[in-house]
Amino acid sequence: MHALHLYACSFIKHRQLIFDVVDDATSKSTTLQLGPVHKDARSPLLGESQPWDVDWLNTYPSIAHHDGKYKLWYNVKVDCGQEKLYCPSTAYPWPANQSHQVGTSLTATAYAESPDGIAWTTPALGEVPWGVDNSTANNLVVSSGTADNNRGVYLDVLEANASRRFKMFGSFDDALHNGSLIGTMMSADGVRWHSYTPVDEMNVTGDTANQIVFDEALGRYLALSRQWCTASACGNTTRGHRREYRAVSRSAAFDGGWARATECANGSTHDEFYSMSPWRLPQWRPGLFLGVASFYNDTAPNVTGEVRCELMRSADHGASWARVGAPHAELIPLGELGAFDDHTCYAAPPIVDPVDEDVTRLYYAGGNGPHSGARADAIGLATATTDAWAGRRATANGAIVATQPLPLSAPLTTARSACLRVLAQSSATAGAPAPHLRASAFAADAPSSRAAARWTAEKPQSPPLDQLPPQQQLPPQQLPPQQLEPKLEPLATTRHARSGTPLWVAHAPMGAHSDHRARRGARWVELRAEPTAHLSGPVQLYLELSQGVAVYAIEACEQHGGGDQLA
């Protein structure tokens, strides 16, 4: 296992995702690039295979790794009733008039488990009766009556009470719960659920994916659900009728009540926001959340509708969300025509691989038919390099990615070398100069820091580029390739920090590497150098990239840390 957390943050606070902290006004010759996501060829991993899997209908999966195994929750229609448009599924192997049908559409939440996240079993749990004989020999864990099949499950790793470790949130049958339509439950193991608590005070429709996440910085739970909007209820319908809403718990207690939900995300007419699965990692800055959102496109010629998974970001504790990249930029691409996922995509909140923390797993439900039509749904898997979700790629030699001012977790001092880890990827073509990057650190309040932090090709001990005679001040892309060869020595400087000279500069090549992470497209690179001055305030970083290099994230590391030693 490659440990990402061996490094004390003695340089900058938190792991910073480049697309979250980039300074667009100063960055030059870069373009936003979504990181590579690879679909596992073994997908689909699980499908509608049991008698009670009458129709998954989006299924809205949730995933966790707990007690040495992967645990998966998904939602099913266990009886079609009179519904004929979607139900039964096209993959349902039993006749539609099978004797188990009782004439009413019924739903439940099901459970599966796996030792490796690939081979899944659906154990007989003895929890929920099903069929005309009320047999409990099935993998159903919660019966939700006639409610929509949309409950999400959250593993709360900070919960001290083991009996409340798993949280469920979503729609339930009001006839079963004294008129409550939206509620929560808790569980110690994700199988045996207890303590139904109504949360109708959120005032959400909740007829799509419903997810819970704990915000450690706020000390509150966040709930994401859906509300249907009309011109009279929500005003502007050009944002679509389906809107995402966020509710915040009134206290740190999960069952302590909720504030009324407010709109936090939307799409547009014929490109509607359908659902979202949020997540965050503890190494990110407070308030930052990412989400895999499903957008429903019902425009011609595909009037029956495709549902695509896209990446979204919130910088304010989930209060507002925006797409990362252009609309319709797929995070998990739909499959080719005829694939199990050629029409729809609904993702679970991603999880970091428990064996290799450099890998994040994205489990999702794919459908092989249109949104408004019969289809079979199944669970697929895609993987990505952890935190290589989106970054900036150099479109020309000498590109610059500048950050906003970043807080330090400890002073930058000349007493010891400083180290920065950069999550980077190279797509340089054959015959091009060896790809490389250079990082420079400036005092954020230095008056001329931006002017001095340009890409330079100087040798160590040479003057900064802005001090050369005018005839020598060539743009970096016009310099001969050999002058852009990486120099691993820190560039020396004699100018004071407030004059705009970088306090810290280091180079690293981006050549071939045998590490298995490189084959997935992005890897961590370490850059080390001796600071030239003391700094205790915010720092601004400039990452200078050769053509084809993309950067996704940065974090501090200690001199004794591990990682890729590229010097």
Domain range summary for the chain, segments of one domain joined by +: 16-36+390-557, 38-385
Name the pTM for this structure.
Answer: 0.86
pLDDT digits (tens, 9 = 90+) for 97-109: 454 455 568 899 9
What is the distance between the alpha carbons of residues 438 and 490, in angstroms, rounded to a whole number? 10
> Tokens 């800055």 belong to which residue?
285
- Alpha-carbon distance of 551 to 283, in angstroms, equals 18
Which amino acid would we find at residue 322?
Answer: A
Question: CB under 8 Å to 403, separation ≥6 — which residues?
Answer: 16, 18, 21, 22, 23, 540, 541, 542, 543, 554
Q: Tell me how far apart the terminal alpha carbons of the chain are, to the nearest angstrom.
A: 23
Provide the pLDDT for residue 235: 65
Distance in angstroms (rounded) separating the CA atoms of residues 410 and 437:
25
Class of domain 38-385: mainly beta
523-552 tens-digit pLDDT: 898 888 888 888 888 889 999 898 889 999
CA distance 365 to 150: 13
In the three-class reduction of DSSP (H, G, I as helix; E, B as strand; rest coil), residue 367 is classed as strand
Find the mean pLDDT for residues 351-368.
97
pLDDT for 324 beyond 80: yes
Residue length, the chain?
Answer: 567
Amino acid occupying residue 408: L
In 469-533, where do the E strands start and end? 504-509, 523-529
Q: What is the pLDDT of residues 151-204, one digit of tens each?
A: 999 999 999 999 999 999 999 998 888 888 999 999 999 999 999 999 999 999
What's the mean pLDDT when you consider all of the chain?
Answer: 81
3-state helix, strand, coil in the chain (%, to 5): 5, 40, 55
Based on the number of CB atoms within 10 Å of its own CB, is 83 exposed (0-12), middle (13-18) or buried (19 or more)?
middle
pLDDT tens figures, 396-410: 877 999 999 999 887
- Position 362, amino acid: L
Compute the distance between CA of residue 276 and CA of residue 346 in angstroms, rounded to an integer: 8
**Residues facing 226 on adjacent strands:** 244
H/E segment holding residue 170: strand 166-171
> What confidence score (pLDDT) does residue 260 get?
97
Partners of residue 62 on adjacent β-strands:
73
The residue ranking higher by pLDDT, 179 or 480, is: 179
Helices (H), 351-463: 449-452
Comparison of pLDDT for 321 and 271, the residue scoring more: 321
Considering only the top CATH level, what class is 16-36+390-557? mainly beta
